[in-house]
């Protein structure tokens, strides 16, 4: 009974490891053949992990600030833009982009290098200013009737200007943003002649905040007169993409963006919704304006401080907008000046050198393990191989899911992980040896050593994992990619040591070669100076050398369990055989 | 191996013991002097920050022949600006190919020299070699976020260790050892004048994990020993700590050797075959850090912990009792 239980447990653990490996392979195969590729990644026909900017190159886009004629861009604004663009790219994964400014003065541009190809979703994620504002709807109409009631038919592209004779100043001072007093005859005329394809519509994002605005929705089918900005997107503390649910809680298949304001703006939004609720349509509608275009204009149906934006969203466009809102509006809009492929900066020689170094390092670790632990070293090597397989599968999987890219620094990090992973085995083996020294038989030494070693391994790996998790959540750029590598190898370490190394030791502890303590097993109690040699055979404890005679009395008092057992063994000396 | 096992065995039973905790003044002085040097050198000499932190000059050789050589640009720039490792990339537009070379910021005359040399190397007129200033890719925002994350991590690590070991003194000792390691690694970069690149920073962060990891492993053994020995032990508290350090010494040696071997291989390959670059940058930080991390756990963290605990009244009582018992029984003999 007692003999079979650890073995059964061991087999069960190994089976679980098998399940994990098969599941990981399955996920990779699924990704490869079946899965719909997330919009920000590009399908690559290989099972290998994707490589970073330094090893594989990527796309370089140069972004030029789009400015109104009298606008100037400052260094601080550009640096802020770089930080926001970085956060937006990071939100889509850990591709480790390189983002910087280039040039000086008015010609200053932002250079973004990202690994892999560039798709439309990523471009919009990077370049959209995402200046969001909330304005009440004053007048709205279908855009197709834009010329009705206007004497002059506006030509597309021309900026329609209201006739100067019309009064552009409100006759009475508007009391709130919903006041129709804002709609002056001049504004009405502008609205009547407004064309959604005109330059005025394109420049709506540069409109002053305190004035009413004439604009269209993002599809160009509806035009609006909107009151002044009541709330700014900058006061948003969080934004998440969410599936829209009906009143019964069932998903409608549509997507929206849930918005959380800071407390001041939350209260403001509540007040606004209270004000709009009793008004007649369309003045009970609230326009959410992104970069000058209305993305949605819901009717206020209740009082809330945390609205949901709906519109023509897919899951991808909703999460893109959520990321843009969450990480803040760019201080300026950008347009893409050039977009080019850029080659790897590190040649194949570097990757080759890294891999060569890794192999040499691995070989040295193998030799050292065999030297230190004899055949037990083979368990170390097998465990390292196992963790290599799992790490490889995980990285390949994350290449797809998180756009994880292996840079040369990442390769070096993985090589270093060999040391940290091997440490778990060393801690474990040393504990088993300690238990053997205390006079336990191998099987019970494996169990007792495991109990103690697991505590240590979990404690130390928790600290490492904590470091990884915090760096991943809080840091940006390269540090984030590093954190993922660290967290990954830490988890793999715990999985391998508990589902592979320990079960294997449980199994080999039952082999005569090991439990009889063969000279080459690495678990030779004799070599370890243990006082118990299995099969109830005792031997003399290590004699205290003459050199230490002076401290022997001291040493006797400072007995350990092993020493006490040794003393007992001495009494039984006649029964045992000397060695 | 037999002798190494014997060594391990002697350390385990206490037959052979290095008085690490007792001689702490020596270790603390060594660590203090090293840390002081590693603080003073950067203060006076400063760090040699890479292009990624400071920005630099970027040269674009446009409209070169198809499939240009990257190493050509590297060699050209290295000849003109010694000690420079330029980053070279090939940029492929729709119909054009250009070579993009990034170096640290050069003065006007050097810039003109490099422009001319690159033009000659790629056989294009000098007007096709544009020079511009490129800003830092490792911006202030990355540094700020990383520092914020570090502070959050250290606070949480202190709390978790204090909860796990049931004493905040272990947390404090571990964090002091951690700072010791970080300062030493940073100092070595300043002393050797190596370029601090993002890769070096990543190596630096790896050390952060390794150093704490190593300390937790040894502290776990200390916790075990000091708990088991309890009030009535024949050992004083410091002796219990010392025994734990000795018992984990073989593990510490094995672990650091196994961790250092691959790093040493990268350092060797990086420095000899590839010259300066990513591999050398990251492996130097790791090599120094792993050595320092192992050293500081044994010679700084453990003695420091013993020192802090020894001052506690009931531990002082125990020390007194144990010492008296020892001299009395010695007299009887």
Of residues B13, B214, B217, nearest to A560 (C-beta): B13
> With 80 as the cut, is the pLDDT of residue B59 above it?
yes
Residues in chain A, total: 579
CATH number, residue A506:
1.20.1640.10
> With 60 as the cut, is the pLDDT of residue A350 above it?
yes
* Predicted pLDDT at A396: 86
Minimal Cα distance from A486: which residue of B? Answer: B206
Do A358 and A465 share a domain, yes or no?
A: yes
**Distance (Å, whole) CA B265 – CA A30:** 37
Minimal Cα distance from A473: which residue of B? Answer: B149
Kindly state whether B83 is in contact with chain A, defined as any CB-CB distance less than 8 angstroms: no
Do B196 and B294 share a domain, yes or no?
A: yes
Inter-chain touch B258–A349, beta carbons under 8 Å? no
CB B19 within 8 A of CB B238: no
* Predicted pLDDT at A566: 56
A321 inside domain: yes
Backbone conformation region of residue B89, classed left if phi is above 0, alpha if psi is from -120 to 50, else beta: beta
Kindly state whether B145 is in contact with chain A, defined as any CB-CB distance less than 8 angstroms: yes
Strands B48-49 and B195-196: parallel
The domain of A261 spans: 132-329
A275 inside domain: yes
> What Å distances lie between residue A261 and A91, A319, B295, CA to CA?
20, 17, 50
> With 90 as the cut, is the pLDDT of residue B183 above it?
yes
* Predicted pLDDT at A160: 45
Of residues B132, B199, B220, nearest to A409 (C-beta): B199
CATH number, residue B311:
1.20.1640.10
> With 80 as the cut, is the pLDDT of residue A549 above it?
no
**Distance (Å, whole) CA B131 – CA B115:** 7
A94 pLDDT band, cuts 50/70/90, is low
B155 vs A413, higher pLDDT = B155
> Taking residues A387-395, what's their average pLDDT?
89
Minimal Cα distance from B249: which residue of A? Answer: A430
Q: What are the chain B neighbours of A477 within 8 Å (beta carbons)? A: 138, 142, 145
**Distance (Å, whole) CA A117 – CA A343:** 12
Helix (H) or strand (E) holding A492: helix A478-496
B173 inside domain: yes
Helix (H), strand (E) counts: chain A: 18, 13
The b/e string for A344-378 (b: 16+ C-beta within 10 A; e otherwise) is bbbbeebbebbebbbebbbebbbebbbebbbbbbb
Q: What are the chain A neighbours of B185 within 8 Å (beta carbons)? A: none
3-state secondary structure of A451: helix
A495 pLDDT band, cuts 50/70/90, is very high
- A416, A459, A476, A527, best to mutate vs chain B, most B CBs in 10 Å: A416
The domain of B158 spans: 18-49+139-327
Do A176 and A277 share a domain, yes or no?
A: yes
B327 pLDDT band, cuts 50/70/90, is low
Do B101 and B166 share a domain, yes or no?
A: no
- Helix axis angle for A4-33 and A376-401, nearest 10°, is 30
A548 pLDDT band, cuts 50/70/90, is very low
A547 inside domain: yes
**Distance (Å, whole) CA A102 – CA B163:** 49
DSSP string, A165-225: TS--S-SS--SSTT-GGG--HHHHHHHHT--TTSHHHHTGGG--SSS-EEEEBTTSSEEEE
Do A482 and A361 share a domain, yes or no?
A: yes
Do A174 and A124 share a domain, yes or no?
A: no
**Distance (Å, whole) CA A363 – CA B91:** 38
Do A478 and A379 share a domain, yes or no?
A: yes
Residues B219-229: pLDDT tens digits?
998 998 888 77
User: Is the four-CA dihedral B58, B62, B66, B71 of positive or negative sign?
Assistant: negative
Inter-chain touch A365–B262, beta carbons under 8 Å? yes
**Distance (Å, whole) CA A381 – CA A366:** 6
Do A259 and A146 share a domain, yes or no?
A: yes
CB B52 within 8 A of CB B197: yes
A526 inside domain: no
Lowest mean pLDDT among A147-156, A338-347, A352-361, A438-447: A147-156
Do B229 and B296 share a domain, yes or no?
A: yes
B3 inside domain: no
Do B93 and B194 share a domain, yes or no?
A: no
Minimal Cα distance from B250: which residue of A? Answer: A430
Residues A256-275: pLDDT tens digits?
888 888 888 888 888 888 88
B262 inside domain: yes
Residues B95-127: pLDDT tens digits?
788 888 888 888 888 888 888 888 888 888 888
Kindly state whether B89 is in contact with chain A, defined as any CB-CB distance less than 8 angstroms: yes
Do A442 and A425 share a domain, yes or no?
A: yes
Do A309 and A352 share a domain, yes or no?
A: no
> With 80 as the cut, is the pLDDT of residue B186 above it?
yes
Minimal Cα distance from B276: which residue of A? Answer: A350
B6 inside domain: no
CATH number, residue A103:
3.30.70.3400
Q: Is B190 exposed, middle or buried (0-12, 13-18, 19+ CB in 10 A)?
A: buried
Please list the alpha-helical segments (H only) found in B193-299. 198-229, 237-247, 249-272, 278-296
3-state secondary structure of B226: helix
* Predicted pLDDT at B310: 85
B2 inside domain: no
Inter-chain touch B141–A422, beta carbons under 8 Å? no
- A79, A114, A458, A475, best to mutate vs chain B, most B CBs in 10 Å: A475
Q: Compute the count of residue pairs across chains A and B with CB atoms less than 8 Å apart.
A: 307
Do B154 and B251 share a domain, yes or no?
A: yes
Write the CB contacts of A485 (distance below 8 Å, at least 6 apart in sequence): A410, A413, A414, A417
A159 pLDDT band, cuts 50/70/90, is very low
Q: What are the chain A neighbours of B92 within 8 Å (beta carbons)? A: 340-343
> Taking residues A141-154, what's their average pLDDT?
49
* Predicted pLDDT at A149: 38
B13 inside domain: no
Residues A163-218: pLDDT tens digits?
445 666 666 677 777 777 788 888 888 888 888 777 666 666 667 777 888 888 87
> With 50 as the cut, is the pLDDT of residue A433 above it?
yes
* Predicted pLDDT at B328: 60
A52 inside domain: no
Do B320 and B230 share a domain, yes or no?
A: yes
> Taking residues A484-490, what's their average pLDDT?
86
A36 inside domain: no
**Distance (Å, whole) CA A61 – CA B289:** 38
A334 vs A519, higher pLDDT = A334
A390 pLDDT band, cuts 50/70/90, is very high
Residues A204-259: pLDDT tens digits?
666 777 788 888 887 778 888 888 888 877 788 888 888 887 777 777 778 888 88
* Predicted pLDDT at B31: 93
A478 vs A45, higher pLDDT = A478
B281 inside domain: yes
Interface of B with A in 247-306 (CB under 8 A): 247-248, 250-251, 254-255, 257-266, 268-270, 273-274, 277-279, 282-283, 286, 290
A124 vs A46, higher pLDDT = A124
**Distance (Å, whole) CA B225 – CA A169:** 85
Do B100 and B236 share a domain, yes or no?
A: no
* Predicted pLDDT at A139: 84
A45 pLDDT band, cuts 50/70/90, is very low
> With 50 as the cut, is the pLDDT of residue B1 above it?
no
> Taking residues B42-64, what's their average pLDDT?
85
Torsion angle in degrees (nearest 10) through CA of B190, B192, B196, B197: -170
Q: Which ipTM was obtained for this model? A: 0.81
Do B154 and B237 share a domain, yes or no?
A: yes
Taking the CA of residue A544 and the nearest CA in chain B, the distance in Å comes to: 8
- A61, A86, A100, A557, best to mutate vs chain B, most B CBs in 10 Å: A100
Supply the mean pLDDT for chain A: 75
User: Is the four-CA dihedral A117, A119, A122, A128 of positive or negative sign?
Assistant: positive
Do A439 and A539 share a domain, yes or no?
A: no
Do B70 and B217 share a domain, yes or no?
A: no
Domain termination residue (choose one: A317, A342, A367): A342
Domain termination residue (choose one: B134, B163, B179): B134
**Distance (Å, whole) CA A262 – CA A239:** 12
* Predicted pLDDT at B176: 94
> Taking residues B252-256, what's their average pLDDT?
86
Residues B223-251: pLDDT tens digits?
988 887 766 667 788 888 888 888 888 88
User: Is the four-CA dihedral A388, A393, A394, A398 of positive or negative sign?
Assistant: positive
CB A329 within 8 A of CB A209: no
A262 inside domain: yes
Supply the mean pLDDT for chain B: 83
Do A314 and A358 share a domain, yes or no?
A: no
Inter-chain touch A101–B135, beta carbons under 8 Å? yes
Do A148 and A100 share a domain, yes or no?
A: no
State CA A184 to chain mean position distance.
51
B148 pLDDT band, cuts 50/70/90, is confident
**Distance (Å, whole) CA A482 – CA B142:** 13
Domain termination residue (choose one: B108, B134, B160): B134
Q: What are the chain B neighbours of A471 within 8 Å (beta carbons)? A: 146, 149, 153, 205
Q: What are the chain B neighbours of A104 within 8 Å (beta carbons)? A: 133
Residue A529: count other Cβ atoms within 10 Å of its Cβ: 25
A578 inside domain: no
Of residues B70, B149, B258, nearest to A426 (C-beta): B258
Q: What are the chain B neighbours of A544 within 8 Å (beta carbons)? A: 15
**Distance (Å, whole) CA A20 – CA A86:** 34
Do A322 and A176 share a domain, yes or no?
A: yes
Domain termination residue (choose one: B78, B102, B134): B134
Domain termination residue (choose one: A342, A375, A398): A342
Q: What are the chain B neighbours of A459 within 8 Å (beta carbons)? A: 164, 216, 220
A546 pLDDT band, cuts 50/70/90, is very low
B174 pLDDT band, cuts 50/70/90, is very high
DSSP string, A58-121: EEEEEEEEE--TT----HHHHHHHHHHHHHHHHHT-----EEEEES-GGG-EEEEEEES---HH
Do B83 and B212 share a domain, yes or no?
A: no
Inter-chain touch A340–B92, beta carbons under 8 Å? yes
CB A148 within 8 A of CB A200: no
B32 inside domain: yes
Q: Which two tokens stand for residue B279?
A: 């591999």
**Distance (Å, whole) CA A569 – CA B313:** 39
Do B166 and B291 share a domain, yes or no?
A: yes
A148 pLDDT band, cuts 50/70/90, is very low
Number of domains chain A contains? 4
B9 vs A141, higher pLDDT = A141
* Predicted pLDDT at B231: 64
> Taking residues A506-517, what's their average pLDDT?
79
Number of domains chain B contains? 2
Among the ranges A318-327, A520-529, A547-556, which has the highest mean pLDDT value?
A: A318-327
**Distance (Å, whole) CA A571 – CA A557:** 18
């Amino acid at each position: 009974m007692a003999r079979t239980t650890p073995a059964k447990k061991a087999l069960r653990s190994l089976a679980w490891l098998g399940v994990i490996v098969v599941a990981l392979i399955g996920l990779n195969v699924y990704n490869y053949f079946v899965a719909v590729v997330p919009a920000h990644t590009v399908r690559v026909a290989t099972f290998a992990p994707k490589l970073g900017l330094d090893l594989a190159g990527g796309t370089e886009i140069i972004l030029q600030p789009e400015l109104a004629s009298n606008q100037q861009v400052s260094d601080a604004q550009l640096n802020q833009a770089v930080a926001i663009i970085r956060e937006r790219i990071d939100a889509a994964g850990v591709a480790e982009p390189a983002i910087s400014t280039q040039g000086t003065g008015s010609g200053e541009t932002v250079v973004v290098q990202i690994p892999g190809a560039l798709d439309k979703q990523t471009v919009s994620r990077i370049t959209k200013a995402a200046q969001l504002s909330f304005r009440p709807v004053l007048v709205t109409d279908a855009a197709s009737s834009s010329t009705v009631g206007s004497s002059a038919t506006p030509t597309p592209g021309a900026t329609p200007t209201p006739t100067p004779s019309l009064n552009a100043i409100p006759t009475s001072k508007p009391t709130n943003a919903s006041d129709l007093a804002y709609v002056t005859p001049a504004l009405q005329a502008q609205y009547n002649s407004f064309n959604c394809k005109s330059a005025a519509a394109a420049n709506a994002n540069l409109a002053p905040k305190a004035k009413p605005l004439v604009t269209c929705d993002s599809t160009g089918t509806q035009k609006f007169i909107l009151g002044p900005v009541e709330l700014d997107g900058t006061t948003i503390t969080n934004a998440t993409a969410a599936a829209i649910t009906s009143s019964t809680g069932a998903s409608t298949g549509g997507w929206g963006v849930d918005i959380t304001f800071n407390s001041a703006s939350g209260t403001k939004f509540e007040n606004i919704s209270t004000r709009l609720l009793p008004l007649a349509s369309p003045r009970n509608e609230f326009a959410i304006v992104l970069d000058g275009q209305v993305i949605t204009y819901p009717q206020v149906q209740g009082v809330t401080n945390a609205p949901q934006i709906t519109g023509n969203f897919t899951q991808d466009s909703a999460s893109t907008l959520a990321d843009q809102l969450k990480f803040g509006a760019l201080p300026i809009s950008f347009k893409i000046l050039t977009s080019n492929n850029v080659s790897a900066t590190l040649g194949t020689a570097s990757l080759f050198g890294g891999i060569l170094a890794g192999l040499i390092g691995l070989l040295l670790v193998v030799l050292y393990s065999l030297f230190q632990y004899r055949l037990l070293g083979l368990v170390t090597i097998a465990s390292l191989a196992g963790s290599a397989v799992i790490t490889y599968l995980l990285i390949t999987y994350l290449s797809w899911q998180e756009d994880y890219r292996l840079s040369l620094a990442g390769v070096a990090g993985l090589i270093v992980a060999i040391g940290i992973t091997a440490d778990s085995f060393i801690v474990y083996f040393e504990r088993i040896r300690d238990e053997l020294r205390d006079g336990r038989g191998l099987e019970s030494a494996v169990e007792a050593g495991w109990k103690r070693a697991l505590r240590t391994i979990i404690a130390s790996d928790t600290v490492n994992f904590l470091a990884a998790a915090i760096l991943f959540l809080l840091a940006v750029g390269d540090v984030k990619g590093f954190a993922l590598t660290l967290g990954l190898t830490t988890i793999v370490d715990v999985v391998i040591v508990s589902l592979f190394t320990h079960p294997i030791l449980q199994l080999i502890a039952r082999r005569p070669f090991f439990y009889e303590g063969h000279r080459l097993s690495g678990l030779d109690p004799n070599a370890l100076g243990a006082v118990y040699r299995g099969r109830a055979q005792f031997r003399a404890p290590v004699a205290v050398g003459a050199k230490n005679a002076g401290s022997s009395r001291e040493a006797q008092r400072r007995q350990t369990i092993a020493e006490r057992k040794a003393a007992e063994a001495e009494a039984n000396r006649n029964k045992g055989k000397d060695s | 191996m037999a002798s190494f096992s014997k060594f391990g065995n002697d350390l385990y039973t206490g037959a052979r013991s290095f008085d690490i905790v007792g001689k702490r003044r020596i270790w603390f002085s060594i660590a203090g002097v090293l840390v002081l040097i590693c603080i003073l050198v950067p203060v006076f000499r400063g760090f040699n920050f890479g292009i990624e932190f400071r920005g630099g000059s970027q040269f674009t050789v446009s409209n070169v022949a198809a499939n240009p050589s990257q190493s050509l640009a590297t060699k050209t720039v290295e000849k003109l600006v010694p000690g420079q490792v330029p980053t070279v990339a090939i940029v492929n537009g729709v119909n054009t190919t250009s070579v993009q070379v990034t170096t640290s910021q050069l003065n006007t005359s050097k810039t003109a020299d490099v422009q001319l040399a690159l033009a000659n190397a790629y056989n294009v007129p000098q007007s096709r070699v544009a020079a511009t200033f490129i800003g830092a890719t490792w911006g202030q925002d990355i540094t700020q976020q990383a520092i914020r994350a570090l502070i959050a991590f250290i606070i949480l690590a202190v709390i978790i260790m204090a909860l796990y070991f049931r004493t905040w003194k272990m947390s404090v000792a571990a964090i002091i050892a951690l700072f010791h390691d970080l300062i030493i690694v940073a100092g070595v970069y300043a002393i050797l004048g190596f370029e601090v690149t993002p890769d070096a920073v990543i190596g630096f962060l790896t050390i952060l994990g390794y150093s704490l990891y190593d300390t937790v492993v040894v502290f776990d053994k200390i916790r075990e020993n000091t708990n088991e020995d309890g009030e009535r032990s024949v050992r004083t508290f410091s002796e219990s700590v010392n025994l734990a350090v000795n018992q984990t010494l073989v593990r510490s040696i094995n672990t650091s050797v196994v961790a250092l071997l691959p790093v040493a291989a990268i350092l060797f390959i990086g420095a000899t075959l590839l010259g300066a670059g990513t591999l050398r940058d990251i492996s130097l930080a790791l090599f120094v850090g792993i050595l320092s991390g192992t050293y500081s756990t044994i010679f700084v963290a453990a003695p420091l912990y013993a020192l802090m605990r020894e001052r506690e009244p009931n531990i002082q009582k125990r020390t007194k009792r144990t010492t008296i018992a020892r001299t009395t029984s010695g007299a009887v003999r």
